[in-house]
Chains A and B, each alone.
Chain A
């Protein structure tokens, strides 16, 4: 059997577009750094989402990459170039702000033209209109930002950023000021635009659905640390710890005694995603639980039910433990019904750190 170290097996063909190396940023009067030893790499054309609750350091990380914050230690590399101490305006990194930051005293075309420092002045206006046409707003070029809706402002902000032809685009909570319906559509349009133009993107968000639909890879942050980076499916299926598991959607955290590829738990034997031995904490996603009606006194009782269109979300109690399950919407179960919990998928083994977490 051949052994691959993980580093070799994922070694890239080319160098990463962006690397952050051991970034640390400490704010005055805080006992804990806002960003604590963050390292990751990003390849050309990739979309990475930094995901985490507010105050986890994701925005500070983004601002250090943009050059608005200077790291206390660590470095930022763009290609081979160390840009840690390069001023923002020389980095060729664009940013779309949460509040869009359109210049209110300039028309839309002027806003976009302002980004084209690399073009001769005469060509800028025409090019700006072309950029606006890309998001179907060419005819609004002479309007002022305050005359636009939130969604339109956001598109202008995006196009203005792209017009500077940056190596990398940063998005700071870009959809938070849009209403829910618009948000989903904009997300899709934006991802298509980025893929079409081959733009490399880092997106900061606290919304796991946004991260999973937009990004090629997700980095989950908590208390300044980057806990896990990987494709959305991998982070969802194999979370690095209980926090990641819970932040990426509902989950059941179970204590069990593992023996190889299965573990004994309160729900009976469960198959595992990886080999383990001894006491373990497991994460079992709610869609991997099936509910079977049962009058068995040891069965669980449904305490709450949420209709979500294509499925039902159930909250269950069994003894002192709580569980959650997502079940397709045929044959709904009533609150108060007794059911047996059956595992219908693999549970993922969490590393030891997660063991102190409470059961869900």
Chain B
């Protein structure tokens, strides 16, 4: 039973929605400033078709590879007698701690004439790059999103469906294909959507792997060729692809409404006996862990220990770290402050409008980061020019990209909190602010901290938005790793990459902790 939302919730929530939409408006505005002939030239270039094909090829490749990794892994840790489930689950999630550009750094560090194979064994492997390099770099750090989704879906699966199919005489493979897989479809789609959006939006991996897709081209146009109208059009095209991804997920899921999995099923199917498949299963798991975690650790260890850069590089780390943190902290505060009214509105006062506002908060998260950053550049240049090239704009960009992230913990705590608490406070004579500070806030304290931490950690390793919006010379950890890697300065990048990995390990610990709370 919903009550109409009070103004002090509604107004800031609407403001967040406006903040999400307005920059995109400016992007469109800028794109349509060009005369029609130029627009035709820009849009119907052969090069765009090439970029489109490459972008789709990359997304498709990443989806296939992540599925090949995540589906068996999730099945092994949930439905078999493999053992060490907790450890394997953690190992399946930790690769989230490796940002794409660090993964690319690790892959690049294998081959080429400054790769470790050349340095250690005098045996030069070709430098890993291009399509397969990009697919590998993206897949190895994004598969946990799919793994987590599939794992919780498999855990929630009702055993009776399988058992009744078995009693009808269907084979195990038929059961997997027709019962389990169709039940997993919603989680598979949700995971694919997240990974697909990452593949579209990623900039670090494709740039380091020198694989030409939209986001790489946008960056080149913006920073090198300075053709901002073309960059705007490329961003719009990329945005259109992202939209198609989001919409196709919801269309497919709507048609499959019946296949959605139930929650909180009491009884689980007994684990499958691996038998003679035990060894292949462990080989598979080892390869996944070695590639996704072992590789970056080994490569970083080599550059840090065996061929370390001069000490001065290590001494730079705290300074650059502090510089990243100075912007990341206000961004975390801003994103959490923006997320609070939106989450509150969505949970406590559900309506069609609240739903729209909540969805709008996901815009910043779902759209390719370069598109978002470019939209903010145009917004700043068209309205408050002084904002351009300031930290404030970077902080705003980060906050817009992470409102959805901050909403996660707030939303779930608010959903658990009974609305009668707040109503009781009102009926005892307490107004909205007294109720918030005495009743709501004590419950939200932990989730607010979680939201702050998630956003902070995200910003500390964020690359594309930083690249476009940071003031000149404001190099963060991520930017340092990226630019040194792209120049082949592997040793000089290593201390910074290691710092990021250690630090973002924290964010994964946080996610794992929250996952643990839920089960």
| A interface residues, Cβ below 8 angstroms from B | 27-28, 60, 63, 66-70, 87-95, 97-99, 101-103, 105, 114-115, 117-118, 160-161, 164, 166, 170
Contacts and interface: CB of A to CB of B under 8 A. Distances in A.
B3 A66 contact: no
Contacts of B431: 87, 89
Contacts of A94: 427-428
Nearest to A95: B427
B423 interface: yes
B424 A101 contact: yes
A101 B429 contact: no
Interface string B290-334: 000000000000000000000000000000000000000000000
A161 B426 contact: no
A161 to B, nearest CB: 7
Given A105-B442, A115-B428, A118-B429, A99 B418 contact: yes
Contacts of A161: 427-428
Contact of B423 (A27, A88, A103, A114): A88
Contact of B424 (A28, A97, A118): A97
Contacts of B421: 101, 103
A163 to B, nearest CB: 8
B428 A97 contact: no
B489 interface: no
A137 B4 CA distance: 38
A198 B429 CA distance: 21
Contacts of A87: 426, 431
Contact of A88 (B1, B427, B439): B427
13 contacts: A67-B427, A70-B3, A88-B427, A89-B425, A89-B431, A94-B427, A94-B428, A95-B427, A99-B420, A102-B424, A103-B438, A115-B429, A164-B429
Nearest to A70: B4
A97 to B, nearest CB: 4
B1 A97 contact: no
A336 to B, nearest CB: 44
Contacts of A60: 1
A95 B442 contact: no
A224 B420 CA distance: 23
A160 B428 CA distance: 8
Given A89-B428, A93-B427, A99-B418, 7 more contacts: A63-B1, A94-B428, A98-B420, A103-B424, A105-B443, A117-B428, A117-B430
Interface in B1-23: 1, 3-4
Nearest to B438: A114
Which of B418, B420, B427, B431 has most chain A Cβ within 10 Å? B427
Interface in B402-451: 418, 420-421, 423-431, 435, 438-439, 442-443
A66 B420 contact: no
B423 A66 contact: yes
Interface in B338-365: 351
The 6 A-B residue pairs with the shortest CB-CB distance, nearest first, are A88-B426, A101-B424, A101-B420, A115-B428, A95-B427, A97-B420
Contacts of A160: 424, 428
| Interface size range on B against A | 20 to 34
Contacts of A93: 427
B426 A67 contact: yes
A117 B430 CA distance: 8
B430 A95 contact: no
B424 A95 contact: yes
A45 B178 CA distance: 66
B429 A95 contact: no
Nearest to A164: B428
Nearest to B429: A117
A89 B430 contact: yes
Given A70-B3, A101-B418, A92 B423 contact: no
Given A114-B428, A161-B428, A101 B423 contact: yes
B237 to A, nearest CB: 38
A161 B428 CA distance: 7
B423 A97 contact: yes
Contacts of A66: 423, 427
A101 B3 CA distance: 18
Nearest to B4: A70
Nearest to B351: A28
A60 B354 CA distance: 22
Nearest to A172: B420
Nearest to A163: B428
A66 B426 CA distance: 9
A66 B1 CA distance: 14
Contacts of A69: 1, 3
A55 to B, nearest CB: 12
A66 B429 CA distance: 11
Given A60-B1, A101-B418, A114-B438, A92 B424 contact: no
B399 to A, nearest CB: 29
Contacts of B351: 28
A118 B443 CA distance: 25
Contacts of B429: 89-90, 92, 115, 117-118, 164
A103 B3 contact: no
Nearest to B6: A87
Contacts of A101: 418, 420-421, 423-424
A118 B429 CA distance: 9
Nearest to A60: B1
Contacts of B430: 89, 114, 117
Which of A91, A97, A166 has most chain B Cβ within 10 Å? A97
A283 B237 CA distance: 74
A65 to B, nearest CB: 11
A53 to B, nearest CB: 17
A170 B427 CA distance: 10
A60 B3 CA distance: 11
Contacts of B424: 95, 97, 101-103, 160
Nearest to B435: A89
A95 B3 contact: no
Contact of B1 (A27, A95, A164, A166): A27
A28 B425 CA distance: 27
B298 to A, nearest CB: 48
Nearest to B423: A68
Contacts of A91: 427
Which of A69, A88, A95 has most chain B Cβ within 10 Å? A88
Nearest to A25: B1
B6 to A, nearest CB: 8
A95 B421 CA distance: 11
A88 B426 CA distance: 6
A315 to B, nearest CB: 39
A200 to B, nearest CB: 15
A69 to B, nearest CB: 6
Contacts of B420: 97-99, 101
B53 to A, nearest CB: 45
Contacts of A97: 420, 423-424
